[in-house]
Amino acid sequence: MSQLTRFELQLTLSMAQEMRTSMVLIFFLIFLFLQSVFVAHADISCNVLDFGAKGDGVSYDTPAIQQAIDTCSGRINDEEKKNANAMAVIFLPAPGRYLTGTLFLRSHTILHISPGATLLGSSSQDHYAAYGSTWYLVLAANVTDVGITGSVDTKSYADFDPKTDMGLPGPAHVGATSSNTGAIDGQSSKFVVSFNSIKNVMVSWNKTGSCSGDECRPRLLGFLDCERIHIWDIQLLNPAYWCTHVVRSNDVTIHHVSILGDFDTPNNDGIDIDSSNNTYIYRCKIDTGDDAICPKTYYGPVHNLTASHCWIRTKSCGVKFGSATYYDFYGIKFNQITIADSHRGIGLQLRDSGNIYDVVFSNFNIMTRYYDVSWWGRAEPIYLTSCPRSSSTVAGSIYNISFVNITAVSENGIFMSGKDGGLLRNVVLENVKLHLHRITNYTGGLLDYRPGCQGLVEHQNSGIFVEQVSGLLLNNVQVFLDPNISTPFVPIDIAPSTLKENIKFMNFSLLYQTYALIRQS
């Protein structure tokens, strides 16, 4: 055997040894990975029936369910708590209707309402805490890793990656259906004093001093100062007040949720994101009397909020910023949203010293119509206002706002106003089609500045109303005017206070056609 051949043999043996070492290392790493996956899904489950819950819709099940929550969450040891996917699952089996007052969720817990089961909210004030600030049917406060689902199982808790899934076509449906998901029902009808097709008159628990005014009722879900919240595959029904309230929280995912409220009940908002960051809302169906998706900044800013592929109907505003705007909103995206039969489509309602900037609304289909004037809104598909709430308020600014690929059918036009010192600048409308078409007998000709400012002001109808705006670009904007729109009518109404040299038109057109013809084209 030659010297070269012996060298090649030694090299081959050396390489084989290295390969064996590498394979051992690879198999060891695979073992560790599989072990971590096993641990991540090693959830602890507690059935509420084992703790005395009846589920008959009559018995008061709060003590039993709360005991199940506390016991089950206590079984997760400190090491497991380091893994966000090691969860205590509190299981409400079907069939069952579980009547409760406030339930307090703990860290590392999932409230799992089985398909066919319902968590019923009590209408008795005695079943809730003494203070109005904690009037929720389900409340998570200062907790980490918490979930609520009505899915068939809880394995999907860690499976949804919003950063990836938001851009995918995904399943064809939005929301959750009664056939395959559980439900939480606030029983709002039991809070109605007088039913009215215009607006219900509601109960108000304002006798104890912990709450004042006519909005003292329990919310459905509350998440206060929480980290990593996941709500998915569940029906949220008949909230007596706000449905889902997220406050000062971070890393929130809400997807495949149906929120179905009484269309005549005031203040039954769908999703209120208050002073919370890194929030994803995906494939939700929201049908309520009041605002559907409503970010607010009572306590701090809102940033990195993304909502996509949602269907909305409301007697108020489909997507509304405010009116609590004490801190900034920025880095926000809404995409692929349908707003149907609503009083207002997209609304930015700045009334305080915060700012709204770097926000994009894209690929919207909007249909707005008039409802009774007691509801805020005048059928505007797009509504931007910045004005001080009171004489002592220093108004904030709205700037760098884009509306791209928007199609709207509406009884009224787009409204933009920076009146009374509020700054409104650098607004882009690109690829916008607005079809003005009357379908109700309500009186038009009103500008709605509420809350505060000037209230309701009589004014001629217009396709786009612009007041004290600095920097407006209309690129490929079409206004289709149906003959049934009342006159006088102005396609673009620019108030004298607006600097007209800062408004640019590119491919703007006004067409007189009936909506029926447009819809068929």
* All structural domains of the chain with their residue ranges: 41-290, 307-521
**pLDDT band, residue 521 (cuts 50/70/90):** very low
**pLDDT band, residue 157 (cuts 50/70/90):** low
pLDDT number for residue 28: 41
**pLDDT band, residue 300 (cuts 50/70/90):** very high
* Highest mean predicted confidence (pLDDT) among 92-106, 166-180, 473-487: 92-106
Mean of all residue pLDDT scores within the chain: 87
Weakest mean pLDDT among 5-14, 30-39, 101-110, 319-328: 30-39
Q: Which of 174-187 are b and which e, b meaning 16 or more Cβ less than 10 Å from the residue's Cβ? A: bbbeeeebbbbbbb
Is pLDDT above 60 for 401? yes
pLDDT number for residue 333: 99
Weakest mean pLDDT among 90-104, 136-150, 225-239, 500-514: 500-514
Weakest mean pLDDT among 39-48, 206-215, 391-400: 39-48
Cα torsion 521, 347, 164, 148: sign: negative
CA distance linking residue 7 with residue 2, whole number of Å:
9
pLDDT number for residue 161: 64
pLDDT number for residue 13: 45
Is pLDDT above 70 for 156? no
pLDDT number for residue 240: 98
Instruction: Compute the average pLDDT of residues 28-43.
Output: 41
Stronger pLDDT, 236 or 421, i.e. the higher one: 236
Is pLDDT above 50 for 84? yes
**pLDDT band, residue 166 (cuts 50/70/90):** low
Strand, coil or helix: what is 36? helix
pLDDT number for residue 358: 99
pLDDT number for residue 452: 80
Instruction: Name the residue among 141, 35, 50, 34 with its Cα closest to residue 91.
Output: 50
pLDDT number for residue 310: 98
Q: In this structure, what token pair is assigned to residue 487?
A: 């006159």
Cα torsion 157, 218, 193, 55: sign: positive
Q: How far is CA 356 from the centre of its chain?
A: 17
Instruction: Compute the average pLDDT of residues 260-277.
Output: 98
pLDDT number for residue 427: 97
CA dihedral 234, 238, 240, 245 (to 10 degrees): 20
**pLDDT band, residue 30 (cuts 50/70/90):** very low
Per the CB < 8 A criterion, the answer to whether 195 and 218 are in contact is: no
Weakest mean pLDDT among 313-322, 449-458, 472-481: 449-458
pLDDT number for residue 35: 38
pLDDT number for residue 453: 82
CA distance linking residue 414 with residue 384, whole number of Å:
9
Is pLDDT above 80 for 311? yes
What is the rounded radius of gyration, in angstroms, for the C-alpha atoms of the chain?
A: 27
What are the tens digits of pLDDT across the range 429-448?
A: 999 999 999 999 998 889 99
* Highest mean predicted confidence (pLDDT) among 84-98, 229-243, 476-490: 229-243
The share of the chain scoring above pLDDT 70, in percent, equals: 83
**pLDDT band, residue 421 (cuts 50/70/90):** low
User: How many other β-carbons are positioned within 10 Å of the β-carbon of residue 29?
Assistant: 10
pLDDT number for residue 23: 46
**pLDDT band, residue 284 (cuts 50/70/90):** very high
Q: In the CATH hierarchy, which fold is given to the domain comprising 41-290?
A: Pectate Lyase C-like (2.160.20)
Residues forming beta bridges with residue 45, ordered by sequence position = 89
Burial class (CB in 10 A: 0-12, 13-18, 19+), 14: exposed
**pLDDT band, residue 420 (cuts 50/70/90):** low
CA-to-CA separations, 136 to 121, 122, 182, 334, in angstroms, rounded: 9, 10, 19, 28
What are the tens digits of pLDDT across the range 168-223?
A: 444 456 888 777 899 999 999 999 999 999 999 999 999 877 788 889 999 999 99
Instruction: Compute the average pLDDT of residues 475-489.
Output: 86
Instruction: Compute the average pLDDT of residues 330-350.
Output: 98
Strand 136-141, strand 219-224: pairing: parallel
Longest CA pairwise span in the chain (Å)? 105
**pLDDT band, residue 388 (cuts 50/70/90):** confident
Instruction: Name the residue among 28, 103, 315 with its Cα closest to residue 199.
Output: 315
CA distance linking residue 515 with residue 386, whole number of Å:
32
